C-alpha cells in the first residue's frame, strides 16, 4: 500500500521551505545560519528525493511520463526564467543631471564612439592630483619629499581570502598607528601614520574584493564619525569615540566572522532550484541576492557598534559614494570638509569576467583607465555604475562557481570606427555586438545608450591576483607629472595561500584531473603576474 500521507507531507514541507526562505526576511537568514550548511544540504537531499519518488509514483499511476515532462520543462524554461539580474539602485534627480552633463556614448553613423573614454582618462589624473595634494598636506610632507603611494592587489580565494586579507589589512593599519604613537613619545616624526592615506586604490579579485570592501567600508565609517564628532553632543560623541578607539583588525574580523554559506546554500537548494521549473523569472528567488543580503547583515550585526554607526550601511549604499561623491570631489568649494576628509578612503577596482568574451570587466569608483588596452577589457556602463551598491559590486567580482550564478549587467558597447565599419560592410560581414534591447533588464534606452548585455562571473577566471588591473592603473598614474607633488608608487600583493603544499593522489585521476588543473591554474598564474610587475 502506498503511503500517500508521507508524500503529501513531503510536498507540504518542501513548499513551506520554498516560501519561507525567500519571503521570511532577515529572520530567515538568521535561522539558516543557526541550522548550518550541512543540515541544509541534508534537508534538501531528503526533500528532492521524496519529490523524485512522488514523480515516479505519479508516472505509474497516471501512466504518463511526468519525469520526462519535468526534465523538458527544466531545459525549455531556461530560455525564459533567468532571474539573476544584478541589483541596482534607482537614480535620483541629481544623478540624472550629472549623467546628462557628462560626455555620453553617442552614435556616429550608427556606431558608438569613445569620447567618454578620453574624458575619463583625463579625469583619472585630476582625481589622483586632488588625492595626492590633499594627502601630502594632511601628513606634512615637504615639497621635495616623494609621497609613498600604494596600489594594493589582493588575490582571490573565496572567503578564506576575504577573512585573512581583511585581518592582515587591519593588523597593518593598527601597527602603523601604534608605531606613530611610540615615535611621538621619543620625539621622532613619523609621516604617513594612517595606512589608508597611502593606499590610492585596491585591485582585487573574488574573496579579495570582500577583504578590500570591508576595510574600505570601515575606514569610510570612521571618517564619517570624525565629521560627526566635530559638532556632536557630549553624550553621543563619547559613544562614537569609544567605537573609534577599537582596533581596526578587531572590527574587520567581527564583520567577517558570520556564516555566509548557509543562506545562499538554502536558496540554491530550495527556491532557486524550483525556479528552474518555472517559466517566469522571479528576482526574489535569486540565490545571489541572498548572499548580498548576508553581507549587508554582517555589517549591521557586528558586535559593539555604536547606534549611529549602524544607521549607515556602506554595503547597502552606492559604490560611487563609498569613497566620495563626485559632486563633492569636483565642487568649487576647496574647504569642503567632506571632500578633504573622505579623500582618505581608498578607491576600489573590482575585477570580474565576461562569460561571452572571456575578457576582464572592471567595476570601480575611479574614473575609467586603460581603455586602449588590447586585451578587451570592458567597463560597466556609466548609468549602471552610478546605480550599483557596494554589495552588488563585490558579488560581481566574487561569484564563486555554481554557488552563485552569473549576473546580468550592461557594459559599454564598443564599435569599430566608422571607416572600419564601412570596410566590414563592403566585405559583406554583418555588424556584431548589437546594442542593448529596451526590454532587457528593464533598462530605459535614454539611460543606457550604446550598451550591451554582459553576464559576469568570478574575476579569477581571467586573472586571480588583481595585478593586471593594478599595472594598468599604475601606467596611467605615471603620466602625471608635477614637480611640486612628487610621489613614488609601490605595488603591494597580498596572497593567502602562497605557501600551499602540493598534495599528490591517484584517486580517480581520469575524472578529477581536468577540473583540478583548471582550479589550480587560477593561483598558478599569480607568480607569473608578479614577475611581470617587477620587470
Render pLDDT for 26-78 as a digit per residue (tens, 0 to 9).
Answer: 778 888 888 888 988 988 888 888 888 888 888 888 888 888 998 999 999 99
User: Is pLDDT above 60 for 25?
Assistant: yes
CA 59 to chain centre: 46
411 with 263, same domain: the answer is no
DSSP structure class, residue 445 = T
pLDDT number for residue 2: 57
The span from the CA of 292 to the CA of 499, in Å, is 31
36 with 180, same domain: the answer is no
pLDDT number for residue 89: 86
295 with 416, same domain: the answer is no
Q: How many domains does the chain have?
A: 2
User: Is pLDDT above 90 for 1?
Assistant: no
User: Is pLDDT above 90 for 375?
Assistant: no
The span from the CA of 14 to the CA of 277, in Å, is 14
Going by C-alpha positions, the residue among 292, 267, 266 that lies closest to residue 395 is 292
Residue range 138-149: mean pLDDT, rounded: 81
Domain-located, residue 391: yes
The span from the CA of 120 to the CA of 126, in Å, is 10
User: Is pLDDT above 70 for 324?
Assistant: no
pLDDT number for residue 257: 86
Mean pLDDT of the chain: 76
Alpha helices in 24-156 (DSSP H): 26-35, 37-62, 66-76, 93-101, 115-139
Going by C-alpha positions, the residue among 155, 99, 96, 92 that lies closest to residue 498 is 155
Domain-located, residue 54: yes
Determine what percent of the chain falls in helix, strand and coil, rounding each to the nearest 5.
55, 10, 35
Domain-located, residue 426: yes
Condensed to tens digits (0 to 9), the pLDDT of residues 388-440 reads 999 999 999 999 888 899 999 887 665 555 554 455 455 544 444 443 333 33
Condensed to tens digits (0 to 9), the pLDDT of residues 178-203 reads 775 554 444 344 444 789 989 999 99
299 with 323, same domain: the answer is no
Evaluate whether 351 touches 456 at the Cβ level (below 8 Å).
no
pLDDT number for residue 192: 44
User: Is pLDDT above 80 for 235?
Assistant: no
pLDDT number for residue 239: 55
The span from the CA of 18 to the CA of 13, in Å, is 9
pLDDT number for residue 169: 95
pLDDT number for residue 484: 86
Evaluate whether 388 touches 89 at the Cβ level (below 8 Å).
yes
How many helices (H) and strands (E) the chain has is answered by 22, 10
Of 312-326, 333-347, 408-422, the least confident: 408-422
pLDDT number for residue 184: 44
Portion of the chain with pLDDT greater than 70, in percent: 66
Evaluate whether 103 touches 119 at the Cβ level (below 8 Å).
yes
pLDDT number for residue 99: 61
Q: Which domain holds residue 199?
A: 93-231+318-497+504-534
Question: Please, what is the angle between helix 261-269 and helix 37-62, to 10°?
Answer: 0
The span from the CA of 214 to the CA of 170, in Å, is 10
List, in sequence order, every residue forming a beta bridge with 203; answer none if it has no partner. Answer: 153, 349
386 with 336, same domain: the answer is yes
The band of 340, judged by pLDDT with boundaries at 50, 70 and 90, is low
Portion of the chain with pLDDT greater than 90, in percent: 23
Domain-located, residue 465: yes
Evaluate whether 397 touches 161 at the Cβ level (below 8 Å).
no
Residue 86: phi, psi to the nearest 5?
Answer: -70, 140
pLDDT number for residue 237: 53
What CATH number corresponds to the domain at position 208? 3.40.1090
Domain-located, residue 240: no
Domain-located, residue 392: yes
339 with 290, same domain: the answer is no
The band of 231, judged by pLDDT with boundaries at 50, 70 and 90, is low
pLDDT number for residue 19: 72
114 with 257, same domain: the answer is no
How many CA atoms lie within 13 Å of 334's alpha carbon, on the beta-carbon side? Answer: 3
113 with 167, same domain: the answer is yes
151 with 105, same domain: the answer is yes
Condensed to tens digits (0 to 9), the pLDDT of residues 355-368 reads 888 888 899 998 87
Q: Spell out where 279-373 has E strands.
A: 347-354, 360-364
User: Is pLDDT above 70 for 274?
Assistant: yes
The span from the CA of 489 to the CA of 155, in Å, is 19
In this structure, how many other beta carbons lie within 10 angstroms of the beta carbon of residue 521?
11
62 with 141, same domain: the answer is no
- Grid cell at residue 29: 537568514
Which positions ≥6 away from 120 have C-beta within 8 Å? 367, 368, 369, 371
SS3 85: strand
388 with 512, same domain: the answer is yes
Of 151-155, 184-188, 295-299, 339-343, the least confident: 184-188
4 with 129, same domain: the answer is no
Residue range 505-524: mean pLDDT, rounded: 71
pLDDT number for residue 52: 84
Domain-located, residue 310: no
User: DSSP per residue over 200-249, as a string?
Assistant: EEEEEETHHHHHHHHHHHHHHHHHHHHHHHHS--HHHHHHHHHHHTS-HH
Domain-located, residue 369: yes
pLDDT number for residue 211: 95
> Dmax over Cα atoms in the chain, in whole Å?
91
pLDDT number for residue 185: 41
pLDDT number for residue 382: 75
- Grid cell at residue 391: 554589495
Q: Is 522 exposed, middle or buried (0-12, 13-18, 19+ CB in 10 A)?
A: buried
For residue 520, CA distances in Å to 170, 246, 461, 497, 500 come to 28, 38, 11, 12, 11
Amino acid at each position: 500500500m502506498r503511503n500517500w500521507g508521507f508524500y503529501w507531507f513531503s510536498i507540504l514541507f518542501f513548499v513551506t521551505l520554498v516560501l519561507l526562505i525567500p519571503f521570511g526576511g532577515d529572520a530567515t537568514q538568521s535561522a539558516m545560519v543557526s541550522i548550518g550548511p550541512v543540515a541544509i544540504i541534508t534537508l534538501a537531499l531528503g526533500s528532492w528525493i521524496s519529490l523524485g519518488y512522488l514523480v515516479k509514483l505519479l508516472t505509474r499511476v497516471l501512466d504518463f511520463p511526468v519525469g520526462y515532462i519535468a526534465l523538458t520543462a527544466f531545459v525549455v524554461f531556461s530560455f525564459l526564467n533567468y532571474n539573476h539580474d544584478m541589483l541596482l539602485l534607482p537614480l535620483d534627480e541629481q544623478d540624472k543631471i550629472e549623467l546628462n552633463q557628462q560626455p555620453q556614448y553617442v552614435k556616429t553613423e550608427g556606431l558608438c564612439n569613445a569620447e567618454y573614454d578620453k574624458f575619463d582618462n583625463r579625469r583619472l589624473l585630476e582625481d589622483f592630483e586632488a588625492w595626492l595634494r590633499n594627502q601630502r598636506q594632511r601628513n606634512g610632507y615637504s615639497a621635495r619629499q616623494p609621497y609613498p603611494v600604494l596600489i594594493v592587489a589582493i588575490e582571490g580565494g573565496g572567503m578564506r581570502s576575504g577573512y585573512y586579507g581583511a585581518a592582515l589589512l587591519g593588523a597593518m593599519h593598527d601597527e602603523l598607528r601604534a608605531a606613530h604613537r611610540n615615535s611621538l613619545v621619543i620625539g621622532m616624526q613619523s609621516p604617513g601614520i594612517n595606512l589608508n592615506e597611502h593606499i590610492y586604490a585596491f585591485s582585487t579579485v573574488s574573496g579579495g574584493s570582500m577583504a578590500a570592501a570591508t576595510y574600505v567600508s570601515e575606514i569610510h565609517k570612521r571618517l564619517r564619525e570624525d565629521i560627526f564628532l566635530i559638532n556632536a553632543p557630549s553624550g553621543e560623541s563619547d559613544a562614537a569615540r569609544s567605537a573609534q578607539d577599537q582596533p581596526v583588525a578587531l572590527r574587520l574580523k567581527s564583520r567577517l566572522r558570520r556564516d555566509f554559506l548557509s543562506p545562499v546554500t538554502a536558496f540554491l537548494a530550495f527556491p532557486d532550484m524550483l525556479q528552474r521549473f518555472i517559466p517566469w523569472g522571479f528576482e526574489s528567488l535569486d540565490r545571489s541576492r541572498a548572499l548580498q543580503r548576508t553581507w549587508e547583515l554582517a555589517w549591521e550585526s557586528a558586535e559593539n557598534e555604536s547606534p549611529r554607526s549602524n544607521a549607515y550601511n556602506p554595503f547597502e549604499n552606492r559604490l560611487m559614494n563609498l569613497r566620495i561623491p563626485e559632486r563633492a570631489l569636483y565642487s568649487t568649494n576647496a574647504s569642503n570638509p567632506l571632500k578633504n576628509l573622505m579623500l582618505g578612503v581608498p578607491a576600489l577596482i573590482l575585477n570580474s569576467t565576461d562569460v561571452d568574451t572571456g575578457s576582464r570587466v572592471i567595476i570601480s569608483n575611479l574614473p575609467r583607465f586603460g581603455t586602449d588596452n588590447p586585451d578587451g577589457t570592458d567597463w560597466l556602463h556609466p548609468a549602471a555604475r552610478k546605480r550599483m551598491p557596494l554589495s552588488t559590486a563585490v558579488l560581481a567580482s566574487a561569484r564563486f562557481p555554481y554557488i552563485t550564478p552569473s549576473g546580468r549587467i550592461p557594459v559599454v558597447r564598443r564599435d569599430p570606427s566608422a571607416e572600419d565599419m564601412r570596410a566590414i560592410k563592403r566585405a559583406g560581414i554583418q555588424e556584431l555586438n548589437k546594442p542593448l534591447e529596451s526590454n532587457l533588464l528593464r533598462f530605459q534606452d535614454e539611460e543606457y545608450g550604446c550598451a550591451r548585455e554582459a553576464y559576469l562571473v568570478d574575476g579569477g577566471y581571467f586573472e586571480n591576483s588583481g595585478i593586471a588591473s593594478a599595472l594598468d592603473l599604475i601606467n596611467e598614474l605615471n603620466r602625471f607629472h608635477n614637480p611640486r607633488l612628487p610621489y613614488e608608487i609601490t605595488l603591494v600583493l597580498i596572497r593567502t595561500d602562497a605557501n600551499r603544499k602540493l598534495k599528490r593522489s591517484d584517486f580517480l585521476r581520469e575524472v578529477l584531473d581536468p577540473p583540478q588543473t583548471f582550479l589550480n591554474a587560477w593561483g598558478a598564474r599569480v607568480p607569473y603576474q608578479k614577475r611581470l610587475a617587477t620587470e
